[in-house]
Structure 1
Amino acid sequence: MDIIRSWREQKVMLKWRYPILQDLDFVFEEGEREKMYSKLATKLNKTRSELEVLFADLQLH
């Protein structure tokens, strides 16, 4: 996947699309990105693969 949008833009778009999300949902320590993805997947009731599709979709819009 080619990254077109910055992480900040992606966070804003996700928060707009899913108002349930907060800034704290995107916080992660170095090497703990998977933990953040897991937290997002749980909060959005999505699988890891659905979350990956969602992030890929953000790159297109």
Structure 2
Amino acid sequence: MNWDRIEGDWKQFVGKVKEKWGKLTDDDLAAINGKRDQLEGKIQERYGHAKDAVKKDVDDWHASLK
């Protein structure tokens, strides 16, 4: 599955994102609107993780959707 599909069907993926990253608010998720770079930025902001760690975490989550 490519990221374009996630972006296009964002509302369907919001629940899965909330399961993985529960500190993200509904407002965060609405603002992200499926944009990967914004998702990574909000995860960094809420969890205080390094950029590389967040990128790997999002890659792993994305791979698990297949």
TM-score of the aligned structures, taking structure 2 as reference length? 0.56
The answer as to 2:52 corresponding to 1:49 is yes
Percent of residue pairs bearing the same amino acid type? 15
How far apart are the structure 2 equivalents of 1:60 and 1:34?
17
TM-score of the aligned structures, taking structure 1 as reference length? 0.58
Cα-Cα RMSD: 2.9
The 1:16/1:48 distance shift into structure 2, 3 A limit, reads same
Task: Count the aligned residue pairs.
Answer: 56
2:6 matched to which residue of 1? Answer: 6
How far apart are the structure 1 equivalents of 2:18 and 2:60?
14
| Structure 1 unaligned residues grouped into runs of 5+ | none
Give the Å deviation of 1:34: 5.1
Relative contact order, CA 8 A, sep 6+: which one is greater?
1
The 1:22/1:60 distance shift into structure 2, 3 A limit, reads same
SS in 2 for 1:6: helix
| Structure 2 unaligned residues grouped into runs of 5+ | none
